Amino acid sequence: MKSLREMDYSVLQQCMHCGMCLPSCPTYEETKLERHGPRGRIALLRAVADGELEVTKALGEEMYYCLGCLACTTACPAGVDYAALFETARAEVEDARVLATPTRSAVRWFALRLVFTRPRLLRALGRGLRWWQASGWAERARRAGLMNLLPENLRRLEPQAPVMRARFSHELIAPVERPERVQRRVAVLTGCVQDLAYSEVNRATVDVLKANGCEVLTPPVQPCCGSLHAHNGDVRTARELARRQLDLIDPGAVDAIISNAGGCGSHLRHYDRLLADDPVYAARAAEWSRKVRDVAEYLVEIGFRLPRGGAGASGEGGNLAVTYHESCHLCHGQGVSRQPRELLRAIPGVELRECAEATTCCGSAGIYSLTQPETADRLRERKLWHLRATGAAVVATGNPGCQLQIENGYRAAGEQGPEVVHPVVLLARAYREESGEVRSV
């Protein structure tokens, strides 16, 4: 990856510092300091490119204080590619090792290089966590005060960990599933967190695609897409994972490659850029990028069949009030905002209630809730406040990070809270209801 000094200067120059991004930026909103807003961050990066500033610890901290939510990208009339600047800057911060400590380096190696490059290992860890959560040991340990023996970070993390599903995606989905009449052929990406913690979303994705004439290919063992790595300064590993993904799924063999996780999709679309200089993979990556779709986007694009069944969860057949929280990397990163709402509105009995600040980050932001817990908590509180104001019984959202963040928020507040669910899960329920087959996954 090119450094800030080597990269195309016009990307930096594109910012004409008009300030239109500032009101959209959660960290600027929080501090009202220019440094913590997009315009200020870009000025710092330009100073690095100009040789006026070296990559300092303060710059490194700044780039990790940035959520990477890309709300500024939507707000920017000048069309600044902040995502590219953000990824380049974080990679440069890592290269310069200005934030490196033995613990941080060890955690990064364990997560980015070890666990999230080996899908089978990740699943094994998921099973371990599942055992811990389901066996009652977690509860027992908590009651016995054993958790206090853990280092503070882990103690904080443990209750936030997503609940592992009894069955992961490959146990719910066959590698190839065909509807009665095949009109299209697509590949479904099952993700990492989605695979372990929300495997029902993957099942629902396959269900709704099948219900719309798609033959669905779902490779049972899929590598991480590399989003985690690219967003956290490890571009080399991100490239390697992209190549593995391209080896696994030939974009030429399908009409579309379907993602159902906003954070992943935002990165998956940029394989072309990521591998532009790769003599072997560049062409394949370009085709891949052309064919990546968010599941809601694709369903709307192919004119999905309107369900006759209801959303199920209403129980008494009354209206179901649903609000939609937009995943940052789905709405700002991919420009997919209208389509999930169309899906929801299409479900009989669903009353879609708009939520204030629906496009503002919930604080999940990849691993931000782990790295910047205080800011993440404040953003989550604000999000919950707006969600509660809608009075909706269901919160729909298109990204597992958001789903977990919001669920954890209600739990931390000691509330039962609304059901938090991916839009395709509701749509899948509606399709199932019409055939009279009511099954909850």
Partner 1 sequence: MHDTLIPLLGERLGAHRVLTAREDILPYGFDGTATLRGRPRAVVFPRDAADVSFVLGLARAGGVPVVTRGSGTGLSGGSVPHEGALVLCLAKMDRILEVDTANLALRAEAGAITQKIHEAADAAGLFYPPDPGSMKISTIGGNVAENSGGLRGLKYGVTRDYVMGMEVVLADGSICWLGSKCVKDVAGYNLRDLFIGSEGTLGVVTQVLLKLLPKPAARRTILATFGAMDEAAGAVSAIIAAKIIPCTLEFLDRTTIRCVEDFARAGLPREAAAVLLIEADGHPAAVADEAAQIEALCRAQGATSVKCAADAAESAQLASARRSAFSALARVRPTTILEDVTVPRSELAGMVRAVEAVARKHGLTIATFGHFGDGNLHPTILTDERDAAEMHRVELALAEIVEETLRRGGTITGEHGVGLAKKPFLRRQLGDASFELLRVVKRALDPDGLLNPGKIFD
Q: Pick from 30, 34, 351, 419: which binds partner 1 (CB under 8 A)?
A: 34
Q: Pick from 40, 262, 309, 400: which binds partner 1 (CB under 8 A)?
A: 40
User: What residues form DSSP beta bridges with 351?
Assistant: 321
Residue with Cβ nearer partner 1 (146 or 356): 356
Residue with Cβ nearer partner 1 (19 or 128): 19
- Minimum CB separation of residue 61 from partner 1 in Å reads 9
- Minimum CB separation of residue 293 from partner 1 in Å reads 20
Q: Which two three-digit tokens encode residue 422?
A: 């991916």
Residue with Cβ nearer partner 1 (22 or 67): 22
- Identify whether the C-beta of residue 202 lies closer than 8 Å to the C-beta of residue 191: yes
| Rounded-to-integer distance, Cα 284 and Cα 249, Å | 10
**Count of residues that interact with partner 1, criterion CB under 8 A:** 32
- The number of beta carbons lying within 10 Å of the beta carbon of residue 159 is 12
Token pair 């009995």: residue: 349
- Minimum CB separation of residue 166 from partner 1 in Å reads 45
- Minimum CB separation of residue 64 from partner 1 in Å reads 13
- Identify whether the C-beta of residue 422 lies closer than 8 Å to the C-beta of residue 396: yes
Residue 211 makes CB contacts below 8 A (sequence gap 6+) with 179, 305, 428, 431
200 binds partner 1 (CB under 8 A): no
- Which of 301, 299, 276, 306 has its CA nearest to residue 288? 276
157 binds partner 1 (CB under 8 A): no
Write down the H helix ranges in 314-412: 328-331, 338-345, 368-371, 373-390, 400-412
- Identify whether the C-beta of residue 94 lies closer than 8 Å to the C-beta of residue 234: yes
Q: Pick from 19, 128, 159, 318: which binds partner 1 (CB under 8 A)?
A: 19
- Which of 328, 398, 310, 386 has its CA nearest to residue 353? 386
Q: Pick from 18, 150, 276, 413: which binds partner 1 (CB under 8 A)?
A: 18
Residue with Cβ nearer partner 1 (46 or 329): 46
Residue with Cβ nearer partner 1 (56 or 133): 56
13 binds partner 1 (CB under 8 A): yes
Q: Pick from 1, 4, 26, 39: which binds partner 1 (CB under 8 A)?
A: 39
Q: Tell me how far CA of residue 362 lies from CA of 4, 224, 325, in angstroms.
A: 29, 23, 9
Residue with Cβ nearer partner 1 (43 or 282): 43
Q: Which two three-digit tokens encode residue 85?
A: 């600047």
Residue with Cβ nearer partner 1 (57 or 156): 57
Residue with Cβ nearer partner 1 (16 or 149): 16
Residue with Cβ nearer partner 1 (22 or 313): 22
32 binds partner 1 (CB under 8 A): yes
| Rounded-to-integer distance, Cα 114 and Cα 97, Å | 20
How many helices (H) and strands (E) the chain has is answered by 25, 9
Which residues, 43 to 102, sit near partner 1 by CB under 8 A? 43-44, 47, 52-53, 56, 58-59, 62, 76-79
386 binds partner 1 (CB under 8 A): no
Token pair 């009109």: residue: 183
- Minimum CB separation of residue 32 from partner 1 in Å reads 5
H or E, element range at 420: strand 419-421
Q: Pick from 30, 35, 185, 370: which binds partner 1 (CB under 8 A)?
A: 35
Q: Which two three-digit tokens encode residue 174?
A: 């066959």
Q: Pick from 33, 134, 166, 176: which binds partner 1 (CB under 8 A)?
A: 33
389 binds partner 1 (CB under 8 A): no
| Rounded-to-integer distance, Cα 42 and Cα 4, Å | 11
Residue with Cβ nearer partner 1 (65 or 132): 65
Residue with Cβ nearer partner 1 (155 or 345): 345
What is the DSSP secondary structure assignment for residue 252, as one 8-state letter? Answer: G
* Residue 436 CB burial class (10 angstroms; 0-12, 13-18, ≥19): exposed
Q: Which stretch binds partner 1 (CB under 8 A): 33-41, 140-148, 221-229, 394-402?
A: 33-41
For partner 1, the binding residues (CB under 8 A) are 9-10, 13-14, 16-20, 22-23, 32-35, 37, 39-41, 43-44, 47, 52-53, 56, 58-59, 62, 76-79
